[in-house]
Amino acid sequence: MKKVIFIVLAIFCLNVPLYGQAPESFKYQVVVRNVTDAIVSNQTIGLELAILQGGTAVYTETFVPTTNSNGLVNIEIGTGTTMDDFSSIDWSNGPSFIETSIDQNGGVSYSVFENYQISSVPYALFAQSAENITPGPQGIDGQSAYDIWLGLGNTGTENNYISSLTGPYGAQGAQGVQGVQGPTGTSGAQGSTGIQGATGATGPQGITGPQGIQGLSGNDGLDGSPGLQGPQGLSGLQGIAGTTGNQGIVGAPGLDGSQGTVGPQGLPGLDGADGADGTSGLDDVPGIISGQALRKLGSSSYDWVTLNTNNTTAGFGISIVGNVVSEKHYVIGELAHGGVVFWVDETGEHGLTCAISDVTTYMRWYAGTNGITRAQGDGPKSGEANTEIIIAAHTILGDDGFDFAANICSNYEVILGGNNYANWYLPSNEELQLIYSNKTAIEATAIANGGSAFDVMYQYWSSTEVDSYNALAVSLQDGSPFTFLKDWTYNVRAIRAF
């Protein structure tokens, strides 16, 4: 039940008959507000008033008034419902108090709101014990509370005056002592079983379940005996030429043919003009000596292969036909140099290859200490320099001895096709963007050669630094770069240049 605030506006106004007789009643006003300070308007309430002398009620009466639109109630004390005699009150046996009790719901469950001493005005009732005294002249009418409020310099209507009379909320009363637990009531009798309900209608047909797994194929039946050869059919019309098929996989080199016989010596030809200087030799092909060429197997291992007058291989991606040495042109998605090619330069002879599997997952970027490493390169092949800078910088910034992304890529080695490949590094941001652009081709080749697809649920660290505390990582789900703290852990996929 909401607590109700009652505000007394005009305490008393005597209703005094002529000839100095004792008053039969006096007026009383209250304004009713609820706990949120809102006026309780146009609502019937229960009101109990008691006149107390010496702590004992000498007169009690009740009212059931209705508040007006402003929450105001006007009553006359002495005219309510009572079993007492208002005229028998001995006002000289003071001091006297009025105790106000309210039931907001209009009932008789009253709650005491206030108990305060009656002001001097009702003491005119002392005239009951002074009937033989000659009454004095009629006093002038006193000012109403509203007029006094205006006289103090305030402005506004009577409603404004009423609204200004709200006093501060009283302090929260102490928690009452919890009552004793009442005894548990006896259990009621068991009710009789209800009648069995009718069977419900059959529900609709459920959705057809998914197709079952394909059964195993049966064994092949025995081959039938060959039929007799039919007569030769007429030649059909020439069909429309089909579209050219995709380029087939390059076949393995054929066996070397036998050495041909030496032909007769030809006549000496005229000396030709000197040819132009040839282009610079290819990288990773140190030279050809006595019919042999040096072939590079990995980062630091080579072997010699014997040349012949036909076609032979002098190194990875290098072929020799007669005395002509040429390099192969690589394509995206090709398995080469220890991984899957994902970028080639304008010559088609050099590029970048990506490891067929993640080097590790959940690896941090730094070696345990934040600081500027200046590994801020971003472009094809820039990750190699970034990786070296990161490792060198942490020897100065501080290395706690636990592994980190750049270091684990630098130490990575893989054996593929019988060859050992080293010189891997942590890719830069742009190199990871290139990997994302060719992700489908990379994954197809990697999986076909025992590798794995990329993890699209977590980002991959790049070697591109942002500041002392952050570096870039790239999502291979949509290619978006993100700035993350260096101590966070993400996936690592190494690359190498060729």
| CA separation, residue 417 to residues 43, 135, 146, 432, 452 (Å) | 96, 132, 106, 25, 17
- 469, pLDDT greater than 70: yes
For residues 168 and 148, give the distance between their C-alpha atoms in angstroms, rounded to a whole number: 22
Which one has a higher pLDDT value, 126 or 207? Answer: 207
- 406, pLDDT greater than 50: yes
- 180, pLDDT greater than 80: no
Q: 55 falls in which pLDDT band (50, 70, 90)?
A: confident
- 109, pLDDT greater than 50: yes
Q: Which residues, in sequence order, are CB contacts of 481 under 8 Å at separation 6+?
A: 429, 432, 433, 462, 472, 473, 474
Residues facing residue 30 across a β-bridge = 8, 73
Please write the tens of the pLDDT for every residue from 336-360: 999 999 999 999 999 999 999 999 9
Contact 161, 151 (CB under 8 A): no
Most trustworthy range by pLDDT among 150-164, 251-265, 370-384: 370-384
Q: 363 falls in which pLDDT band (50, 70, 90)?
A: very high
Contact 367, 394 (CB under 8 A): yes
Which pLDDT belongs to residue 132? 43
Give the count of beta carbons closer than 10 Å to the beta carbon of residue 433.
Answer: 17
The average pLDDT across 72-81 equals 90
Which pLDDT belongs to residue 276? 57
Query: In the sheet that 318-321 helps form, which strands lie side by side, from edge to edge?
Result: 311-315, 318-321, 324-327
Q: In this structure, which CATH number among 3.90.1720, 1.25.40, 2.60.40, 2.20.28 belongs to the domain 4-134+141-163?
A: 2.60.40
Structure letter (DSSP) for residue 46: E
The DSSP element (H or E) to which 432 belongs, if any, is: helix 429-437
- Going from N- to C-terminal start, the domains of the chain cover 4-134+141-163, 288-327, 335-497
The average pLDDT across 239-265 equals 58
Please write the tens of the pLDDT for every residue from 27-42: 888 787 777 878 888 9
